[in-house]
């Protein structure tokens, strides 16, 4: 059955995350090129309806003037797209710094959230953005430092997120923390839940579920103590474990990334190893994308979700530049909407 919601978005950050001019890195792909690749995709007349967007160079200068941001909004709207969720530049080396760090680092993190809220307001007033969240993470790469004192370090992340959530709330925005195995304090489904409950501001801070990253949650990749599956699991064991995880995190879930994962991790450039994003039709993909999406999208409209986004983060440039990549991805997303959408 066809539905009009959720809207189908593509992420722009695969053109820049992990890219650069360092040794072994591929060059970034411009925003305009990513927009054109997305706009060219079509499946039986259905196109992508919007994009999700990382607020950092080379796609965006986070210090850009309002007029410069409006010009970007015009460019995006001119390709026929809405803007949905925005990624705040919270990482060290962008604007922000570790949410687990000292006061100076925390202030940098909060400044990145303020910056994202300012740009969101310009997009909103322009009219190109009518829904979506602002994505964050703990910006603490790896878990070694966190493990030195898990309780105190989680408490510090919670403190930073509470302050960030208040900033977002004051701007009429909501933050979504994307659970990934590479981010300290967010590296397992249970630790992520502890942070969300510790903040306790569901109206201002929720969870961003990504199919690739949350699959690795079930395996306990960076937290064996929270593994829900053992090697060689059966199909029945998988869906029972998946239901346990999604039942815990779904009430907090306010943003959703459609993705595929083959059970491995991948890193590129300065981005630590995290759940590998695979192509929609990857023969080694572990997920039934349509079925798995249903666990997250149950009652999605009641949680304010109005769009879903494909995340092809750290896809090689040759894959990103292949038109058929996007047709297959769009087809997978249409199947998700047909099965679990609403009108």
pLDDT (0 to 100) of residue 269: 46
Say if residue 164's pLDDT is above 80: yes
> Is the residue at 66 inside a domain?
yes
Cα(239)–Cα(228) distance, integer angstroms:
10
Return the DSSP state at 46. Answer: B
> Is the residue at 217 inside a domain?
yes
Q: Which helix (H) or strand (E) holds 171?
A: none
The mean pLDDT value for 234-256 works out to 98
Please give the tally of structural domains in the chain. Answer: 1
> Is the residue at 124 inside a domain?
yes
Is 130 in a helix, a strand, or coil?
A: coil
pLDDT (0 to 100) of residue 313: 83
pLDDT digit string, tens, across residues 24-43 = 899 999 999 999 999 999 99
> Which residue range forms the structural domain that includes residue 335?
7-340
At residue 275 the predicted structure's pLDDT band, cuts being 50, 70 and 90, is low
pTM: predicted TM-score of the whole model, two decimal places: 0.96
> Is the residue at 1 inside a domain?
no
> Is the residue at 281 inside a domain?
yes
CB atoms within 10 A of CB 200: 10
Say if residue 274's pLDDT is above 80: no
Q: With b meaning 16 or more CB within 10 Å and e meaning fewer, what string describes 63-100?
A: ebeeeebbebbeebbeeebbbbbbbbbbbbebbbbbbb
At residue 268 the predicted structure's pLDDT band, cuts being 50, 70 and 90, is low
pLDDT digit string, tens, across residues 168-222 = 999 999 999 999 999 999 999 999 999 999 999 999 999 999 999 999 999 999 9
Nearest to 111 by CA among 154, 164, 170: 164
Quote the percentage of the chain above a pLDDT of 70. 97
> Is the residue at 130 inside a domain?
yes
The mean pLDDT value for 323-339 works out to 98
> Is the residue at 209 inside a domain?
yes
Those residues whose C-beta lies under 8 Å from the C-beta of residue 199, and which sit 6 or more positions away, are 158, 161, 162, 165, 205
- CATH number for the domain spanning 21: value is 3.20.20.150
Those residues whose C-beta lies under 8 Å from the C-beta of residue 302, and which sit 6 or more positions away, are none
Say if residue 267's pLDDT is above 70: no
Contact 338, 4 (CB under 8 A): no
Is 271 in a helix, a strand, or coil?
A: strand
Say if residue 271's pLDDT is above 80: no
> Is the residue at 2 inside a domain?
no
Question: In sequence order, which ranges of the chain are alpha helices (DSSP H)?
Answer: 31-40, 66-78, 103-126, 144-148, 150-170, 189-199, 211-219, 235-249, 289-297, 317-320, 323-340
């Amino acid at each position: 059955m066809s539905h009009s919601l959720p809207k189908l978005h593509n992420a722009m950050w695969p053109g820049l995350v992990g890219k650069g001019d360092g040794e072994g890195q591929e060059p970034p792909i411009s925003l305009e090129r990513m927009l054109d690749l997305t706009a060219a995709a079509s499946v039986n007349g259905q196109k992508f309806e919007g994009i999700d967007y990382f607020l950092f160079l080379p796609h965006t200068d986070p210090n850009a003037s309002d007029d410069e941001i409006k010009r970007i909004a015009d460019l995006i709207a001119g390709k026929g797209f809405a803007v949905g969720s925005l990624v705040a530049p919270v990482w060290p080396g962008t604007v922000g710094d570790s949410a687990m760090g000292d006061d100076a680092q925390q202030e940098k993190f909060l400044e990145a959230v303020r910056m994202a809220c300012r740009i969101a307001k310009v997009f909103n007033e322009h009219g190109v953005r009518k829904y979506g969240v602002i994505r964050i993470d703990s910006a603490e790469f790896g878990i070694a430092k966190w493990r030195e004192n898990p309780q105190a370090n989680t408490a510090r992340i919670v403190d930073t997120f509470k302050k960030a959530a208040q900033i977002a709330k004051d701007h009429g925005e909501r933050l979504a923390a994307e659970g990934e195995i590479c981010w300290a304090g967010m590296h397992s489904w249970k630790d992520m839940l502890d942070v969300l409950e510790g903040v306790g501001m569901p109206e201002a801070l929720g969870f961003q579920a990504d199919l690739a990253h949350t699959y690795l949650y079930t395996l306990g990749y960076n937290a064996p103590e929270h593994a829900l599956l053992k090697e060689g699991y059966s199909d029945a064991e998988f869906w029972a474990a998946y239901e346990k995880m999604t039942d815990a995190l779904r009430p907090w879930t306010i943003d959703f990334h459609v993705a595929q994962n083959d059970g491995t991790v991948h890193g590129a450039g300065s981005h630590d190893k995290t759940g590998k994003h695979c192509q929609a039709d990857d023969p080694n993909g572990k997920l039934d994308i349509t079925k798995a999406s249903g666990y997250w999208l149950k009652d999605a409209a009641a949680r304010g979700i109005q769009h879903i986004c494909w995340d092809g983060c750290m896809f090689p440039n040759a894959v990103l530049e292949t038109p058929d990549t996007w047709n297959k991805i769009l087809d997978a997303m249409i199947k998700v909407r047909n099965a679990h959408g609403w009108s």
